[in-house]
Amino acid sequence: MEIFEKLPDEINHLVSEFSSTPVVGDLSCGITQYSFWLIVSTIVLLIVLTVFKKKQTLVPKGFFVNGFEYIIEYVENDIGKGVVGENWKKHFPFLCSLFLFILINNMIGLIPGMKPGTGAIGSTAALAIFAFVYFIYYGCKAHGVIGYIKSLAPQGVSFPMNVLVWVVELFSTFLRLITLAVRLFCNMFAGHVVMGSFAIMASMFMQPLLQQVSAAHAVGALPSLAWLAILILIYAIELVVGAIQAYVFTVLTAVYVSEAEEVAEEE
């Protein structure tokens, strides 16, 4: 079919649209479309926090206050108390910031015409560096720099092997930086590419009908409905993925933090 022949070009065009393009300045010093929406998301989050703080009362009222409190309590109970354990209060602000920041960026990105701030590797790398530095800092603080470096190798492993394990663990620790950044970025990027592809397919099948209304074109436009249904389904899945990725990033950071501190407690 003619439409399917056009598809690869359209998809390539779509993917090229997803690559970072500077809005102000250039790629090394300026703002890209992703940074723009990241800044917008940050402002939205700040507004949400201000409004929430004003509206929060001893007896919570309304969907907004209850909903936001539910998110905070979820991070507190599920990630803070559930993963970090007894030191959760110390790390809660950082974990909560991570979760809310990623969540708002992912959600803003789902609004048609907007992009997720987390859809660029630069943004997710910044967050991963924060998480990396954070857990290394608390590992070193609880345990001493040398102690923390030594503690990477598990205890109870005999001499030649423990060096090898230490090297592997050191490598895996640094790999966390990359995996955190790439996982979030790829999920957001791929999700939006898939949604974009189905949107293109839905519009391509519809185009002949829009140009000239005829029975043949109407029949030809029928697959559009199927693509549209799939698009809506993927949209719903992306909503869930947006929340899950925020959760995964935060939970993994919490695990790394608790692991770093746990090592210190053992000794």
Query: Rounded to the nearest whole angstrom, what is the least distance from the CB of residue 193 to other proteins in the complex?
Result: 11
Question: In this structure, what is the dihedral angle of CA atoms 254, 124, 127, 125, given to the nearest 10 degrees?
Answer: 110
- Using rule CB under 8 A, residue 132 touches other proteins: no
Q: What residues between 212 and 251 interact with other proteins by CB under 8 A?
A: none
- Rounded to whole angstroms, the Cα distance separating 19 from 32 reads 10
Map residue 144 onto helix, strand or coil: coil
Pick from 11, 20, 74, 239 the residue near other proteins by CB under 8 A.
Answer: 20
Sign for the pseudo-dihedral over CA of 229, 231, 236, 240: positive
Residue whose CB is less far from other proteins, 60 or 85? 60
Map residue 24 onto helix, strand or coil: strand
Q: What residues between 154 and 193 interact with other proteins by CB under 8 A?
A: 181-182, 185, 189
Looking at residue 70, its amino acid is Y
Q: Which stretch binds other proteins (CB under 8 A): 30-38, 155-163, 167-175, 212-220?
A: 30-38
- Rounded to whole angstroms, the Cα distance separating 150 from 158 reads 14
Query: Rounded to the nearest whole angstrom, what is the least distance from the CB of residue 146 to other proteins in the complex?
Result: 28
In sequence order, the β-bridge partners of residue 22 are 32
Query: Rounded to the nearest whole angstrom, what is the least distance from the CB of residue 43 to other proteins in the complex?
Result: 9
Residue whose CB is less far from other proteins, 181 or 241? 181
Q: Which stretch binds other proteins (CB under 8 A): 31-39, 136-144, 211-219, 246-254?
A: 31-39
Residue whose CB is less far from other proteins, 35 or 245? 35
- H/E stretch holding 153 reads none
**Any idea which residue has 């492993």 for tokens?**
157
- Using rule CB under 8 A, residue 19 touches other proteins: yes
- Using rule CB under 8 A, residue 117 touches other proteins: yes
Phi, psi of 20 (to 5 degrees): -60, 130
Looking at residue 232, its amino acid is I
- Using rule CB under 8 A, residue 74 touches other proteins: no
- Using rule CB under 8 A, residue 51 touches other proteins: no
- Rounded to whole angstroms, the Cα distance separating 75 from 81 reads 9
- Using rule CB under 8 A, residue 126 touches other proteins: yes
- Rounded to whole angstroms, the Cα distance separating 79 from 263 reads 19
Map residue 158 onto helix, strand or coil: coil
Binding region for other proteins (CB under 8 A): 16, 18-20, 22, 25-32, 34-35, 38-39, 41-42, 45-46, 49, 52-53, 56-60, 69, 72-73, 92-94, 96-98, 100-101, 117, 120-127, 129-130, 181-182, 185, 189
